[in-house]
Copies of this chain bind each other. A is one copy, B any other.
Amino acid sequence: MFQFSIPRWRLSNAKAEAPRNSYCVFALGRRPSGNMIRPFARCRLPTALLAKFRARNAAGLAVADLIKQLFSRERSFAAGTDLARQFSQPANCALLIEGVAAQYRILSNGRRQITSILVPGDFVNLHSMIVGQEPYSVLALDMCRVLVAEAEQFRSALSNSTELGRILWMETLTEAAIQRESIVSMGRRTALGHLAHFICELHERVSMVGKAAGNSFQLPLTQSDLADALGLSVVHVNRLLKTMRSDGLLSWSNSVVSILNEYKLREIAEFDPSYLGFRQVRQAGVSFSEA
Contact = CB atoms under 8 A, between A and B. Distances in A.
Given A130-B166, A162-B162, A270-B21, A116 B180 contact: yes
Interface stretch (A33-41, A65-73, A153-161, A257-265): A153-161
Contact of A135 (B23, B112, B275): B275
A170 interface: yes
Task: Name which of A163, A166, A272 has the most chain B CB atoms within 10 A of its CB.
Answer: A166
B180 A135 contact: yes
Interface in A225-245: 228, 230-231
A126 B169 CA distance: 10
Nearest to A170: B130
A177 interface: yes
A70 to B, nearest CB: 15
Contacts of A1: none
Q: State the number of copies, please.
A: 2
A183 B184 contact: no
Interface residues of A, number: 50
A282 interface: no
Most chain-B CB neighbours within 10 Å: which of A113, A162, A168, A183? A183
A281 interface: no
B277 A105 contact: no
Q: Report which residue of A168, A176, A189, A277 has the largest number of chain B beta carbons within 10 angstroms of its beta carbon.
A: A176
Contacts of A112: 188
Nearest to A229: B187
A135 B172 CA distance: 14
Contact of A184 (B113, B172, B177, B230): B113
Contacts of A277: 131
Contacts of A177: 127, 135
A113 to B, nearest CB: 4
Interface string A100-143: 00010101100111011000000000110011000110000000
Given A131-B170, A135-B177, A175-B176, A186 B184 contact: no
Contacts of A186: 183, 186-187, 231
Nearest to A103: B180
Given A135-B275, A179-B183, 13 more contacts: A108-B270, A113-B187, A127-B173, A131-B174, A159-B163, A160-B162, A162-B165, A165-B169, A168-B169, A172-B176, A179-B180, A186-B187, A187-B228
Interface of A: 21, 23, 103, 105, 107-108, 111-113, 115-116, 126-127, 130-131, 135-136, 158-163, 165-166, 168-170, 172-177, 179-180, 182-184, 186-189, 228, 230-231, 270, 272, 275, 277
